[in-house]
Amino acid sequence: MPLVRIDHGKHHPAGFGKAVGDIVYRAMIEEINVPADDKFQIITTHEGSELNVAHSYLGIEYSADIVFIQITLNAGRSVELKKKFYRRIADDLSKELGMRQQDVFISLVEVAKENWSFGNGEMQYGPTS
């Protein structure tokens, strides 16, 4: 049930955002136990001026190629599982798309299961009334 938002600059080649999305989706299935077909992604391409980022933070130097990946998902995964997930995404984006690992920014937003409706105005995973 993750909702993935991928934001990147328009200077990346056509299809880049979808390729990032496919890599993230594969990592979600293989590393954090997301079921197959649970793919909800919003991919947005921005003008350079719309991505306002410091040149560096925590000793990490960023370039104009930075990609933001924000994933809203159910709470409850361990810190170790999250670390493995972050590493997998950075490694795969580097290997498959030639990205600098420093330019892979990932944010997880954890929510309770009752905070989702997948359609029909229903709470598919929350407590029953």
Query: Is 35 a known active-site residue?
Result: no
Q: What is the DSSP letter of 59?
A: T
Catalytic residue selected from 2, 13, 35, 127: 2
Q: Which helix (H) or strand (E) holds 111?
A: strand 104-111
Domain ranges of the chain: 3-115
Q: What secondary structure does DSSP assign to 7-43, as a single string?
A: EEETTSPTTHHHHHHHHHHHHHHHHS-PPTT--EEEE
Contact 25, 78 (CB under 8 A): no
Nearest to 103 by CA among 2, 28, 5, 8: 8
Regarding pTM above 0.85, the answer is yes
Confidence of residue 122 (pLDDT cuts 50, 70, 90): confident
> Under CATH, domain 3-115 is a member of which superfamily?
Macrophage Migration Inhibitory Factor (3.30.429.10)
Q: What is the mean pLDDT of the chain?
A: 94
